[in-house]
Structure 1
Amino acid sequence: MLITADDRLLFIGDSITDAGRDRTDPTSLGNGYVREIARALHTGGSPGPGPTVINQGVNGHRVYDLESRWTTDVIDQRPTVVTVKIGINDTWRRYDSGLLSPVDEFEACLYRILSHTTRTLAAQLVVITPFLVPVTSDQEAWYEDLSPRTDAVLRAARAHGAQLVRADLLLPHAAEEIGPAALAADGVHPSPHGHELLARAWLTAVGTTA
């Protein structure tokens, strides 16, 4: 897919997408992979303005939170490319709060919001899989919940023709080389290097400016 200056790229998800953005400023992109993608698209393409980039990530959100704000935060923005990164909090809350997000319900919810998008917008979908780079032995147990959830994300994404960014493969592979803490000190939130890897993977999967 070729990204041009006419495109409106919208990113939605949890704190990994939010990355400290100023929610009082609609142009704020945070300090993570969304900002890195915007920077690359504005400096690496043709002369002139790059595409519009919108960050709608919110700390702590699960897939159900995305559904509750989907019309306002996605559909009403009229994006031409929608990138969704969700799932790790649906797993994490099970282990730190006992708050369950059954995989079948999670998948059905994700399916609904992707279907809503394809019915309403002529937008390309991009889905970034949830990932974990365990830094404690306790986090290793999370895969019991996260692995089937990642499979659910893949099924929903493929059913809607979404481009896939396999962060679940990318980040653990990188962690084997430089160590998990160098990519995500808590196993979840990427370091600057981790965000750079996500941005590069998105650009490779999706494309660049004309």
Structure 2
Amino acid sequence: MSRRVSYSQDTSDFSDAIRKAVGSAALSGPSSSKGGDARKLRQEAIVIADRWEKAFLLASQLRFYNVYLPLAGFSGWNDEELLRKAGDAVDRSVFSVDYSGSVPGFPGENFRKEYRDALEGTPSRFEATGYDAALLLAEAYRLGEKDSRTAGELARERIPLLGTFRGVTGMFQFGPEGEMRRKVSLLRVELGTFVPVPDP
């Protein structure tokens, strides 16, 4: 990471943040070629650790300055409004996602459909995470006979015995001491849509 730049939450003009991130000298000089083409910069990418509402503003303003670096973010970008408002300014961006029910082939696709049918609403990642937590506990409790110990004690003992749990938010693996490992899924923006990034 070459530079870390922050801004206040009420920022909508990111000119100063962009100058700090890529350098004022880089923005004051000409683009690498005529016609507003991409500038030559030291950075290889820009990580925007904020929600889609700020990501689309930043992406659009980066384009204004002819900064065409790949963008990366996190699950706060997982919103169709990002695609609609940012357009091609976020094309080829990649971000991590903990739940996506709108992308074909993701584990949450069926959950989203069933949730909408049952409750006539769209689930967020919080409903998906809660659903996974309930399923995980139910599976752990099914592993043994009735027991007089508390639910917390049983969960601590039995969850590691599951080994692997596939939920609507992805795959979880549990080690012998109960430590959890979770594979992080990535989405990429391609031609105005979210697509899964294939495993290497």
Quick one: higher RCO (CA 8 Å, sep 6+), 1 or 2?
Answer: 1
Structure number with the higher helix fraction is: 1
TM-score by length of 2: 0.30
Give the greater-gyration-radius structure (CA).
2
Report the TM-score when normalising by structure 1.
0.29
